[in-house]
Amino acid sequence: MEAYSLDLRERISAACDEGLEARQEVADRFGVGRWFVQKLLRQRRKEGTIAARARGCGPAPAIGPADQQRLRKLAKSHADATLVEWCSLLQQTGGPSVKTWTMCRALKELRLVLKKRRCTPASVTRPGCGPCVVTSRSGWRRSIRRSWSLSMKAGSIRR
C-alpha cells in the first residue's frame, strides 16, 4: 500500500484548519479514514511536517555480506555439515553466533545444499529386508510378495 500524496495531505490539513467540518466529515469528503486524519494532524503538531514518513525495512540481517562469503568458503570444505555444525563453524571463523533457523535462511539465500539430518537410519520398508525376503542357494535375495499386500487382497475390505 502506497502512502497518500503530499497534495492530498495538504488539502486534508487545510480543510481541518478551516474548522467548518468535523474530522469524520473531512475524512468522508477526501475518501480516507478518520484515524488517518487524526494521525496526520498529530504528526503535524509533533514533527512540524505532514510528509509521509520513510518506511522501515526491519532489522539488519544477522549474517551480512562478509559472513556470506565465509559461508561460501566453508561450503567447499564442509559440504555435508548440519545446521548446528554450520552455526558453530561460522562462529569459529569469526562470524556471529546465530540460531539454526537463521543459518537455514542464509544457506537458502546462497542456494547451498543442506544436509537434512545428522545421520539417516536405514529404511525398514526398503526392498530386500524383513520376513518377506528369501535367500536362495545361490545367494540371490528375492521377495515372496508379488503384487498384493495382505491387507489389500480381494474380500478383505469390510463395509
- Sequential pLDDT tens for the chain (159 residues): 689 999 999 999 999 999 899 999 999 999 999 999 999 999 999 999 999 988 888 888 899 999 999 999 988 888 788 889 989 999 999 999 999 999 999 999 888 866 666 565 555 555 545 555 556 666 665 555 555 554 544 554 555
Cβ contact 45:37 at 8 Å: no
For 70-115, what is each residue's pLDDT tens digit?
Answer: 999 988 888 788 889 989 999 999 999 999 999 999 999 888 866 6
- What single-letter amino acid sits at 62? A
Provide the residue ranges of all domains of the chain, joining segments of one domain with +.
Answer: 6-47, 65-109
Give the residue carrying C-alpha cell 525398514: 124
Compute how many other C-beta atoms are within 10 angstroms of the C-beta atom of residue 13. Answer: 16
Query: How much is the pTM?
Result: 0.43
C-alpha distances in angstroms, 99 versus 42, 83, 90, 108, 114?
41, 9, 11, 15, 15
